[in-house]
Structure 1
Amino acid sequence: MQPGTKQARIWPRTKCNFDGSGRGKCETGDCGGLLECKAFGQPPNTLAEYALNQFGKKDFFDISLVDGFNVPMEFSPTSNGFSRGIKCTADINGQCPNQLKAPGGCHNPCTVFKTDEYCCNSGKCGPTNLSRFFKDRCRDAYSYPKDDPTSTFTCPEGTNYRVIFCP
């Protein structure tokens, strides 16, 4: 990760099958049928998001469930004396509300219902019963698009990080 990287994301893909030319499909997190992603993954997928060396010489990082959930994740600083990482390790797929269930994962309500209440398109929204399903199980993770106060974490610039799928 290069300093100054803005709006980057890492996500797991599951049940993938690719041919020798790098074409195929994944059950979750698919990137338009390509082995080497050129666009964001298809929901549902758990996201690690980061922006390095941004405002006030800080790195910003989070785990987001705004695109749903497919596998547990941990995102941790590994240098500069910081060790408090964030994680989402709950059994969200097993407990997923019926209306959000998807093959291999659990959709976020915005993906399913596409309403302003869940997607925050007007810029104003708050937690809903369905977003609370995610927040109750993963306190550190974004559960809806405006969940900044409890879901964005910072470290000084130059910190190293580790993302672990299925910790």
Structure 2
Amino acid sequence: LDVAYVQMEGAGRLRLPDGHVRTAQYAASNGRNFRSLSEILCERGLLPPERRSRREVRRFFRENPQLAAELLAENRRFVFFRLDDGPPLGALNRPLTPLVTVATDPSLLPLGSVLVLDAEIPGPPGQGMRRIRGPVLAQDVGAAIRGPRLDLYMGVGSAAEDAAERVKTQVSAYLLLSKNVTTAAR
């Protein structure tokens, strides 16, 4: 299941059998449309829509391992990776920065755009939500990121994964533009 999530995220940190940690960086995809595991489970009636979360998907597959191969195969999108020793990189080929990097739909918000974000995000475990206000940088994209949506990069590790799973909220985002937009757009 972890492999499916690395496929979905486009990058991930891998702990190898010898103990070394390497980064699987996005290299290419087969170009097929992405289908999330939670979407597949909900469509099949195996997961109620109100319980649609990464945690519930993991629970489902722990309890139903015999269905894993069949259901995982329904997402026909496949990502190819290259191994690297550095941090995860975004579509601008620059390191992702927790709470600064956002992934966007580049047809609506070009890569490299700077925004000011005002949002409530999950705090550390057991501490509820916290407000963040400040600049973010559109430096990544994703097959599932279409339309007026931002995905805030939360970092690596289980605490970041847990926080990212709980970020599902409307935000205020303000695009910063040059006074001379026509020159900046060239």
TM-score, normalization: structure 2?
0.25
